[in-house]
Amino acid sequence: MIVLVSGDGDFDLLVNKIRVKYGKEVEVYGVPQFTAASLMNEASEFLAIDENFYWVKFSLILLIFQHRY
């Protein structure tokens, strides 16, 4: 799996090649308003970076911290 954190549409051809030629999944993380539609469409999965994303990340960090200590 390849993870790309960008909204730049110039990466759409690269993402397509990685998926099609090499058979790898490509997750793209980006801010929906600033991510090119072509990049979102080429990704195996597009994950929006928004307020919900930060709360999920924060919650996971808390769970890990509580588990360790």
Tokens 């539609």 identify what position?
37
Q: State which residues form the domain around 27.
A: 2-68
Q: Are the beta carbons of 15 and 26 closer than 8 angstroms? A: yes
Whole-structure pTM value: 0.73
For position 56, which CATH number holds? Answer: 3.40.50.1010
Residue 46, SS3 per DSSP: strand
For the chain, 69 residues long, give each residue's pLDDT as a single digit of tens: 899 999 999 999 999 999 999 999 999 989 999 999 999 999 999 989 887 766 666 566 666 666 665
Number of domains in the chain: 1
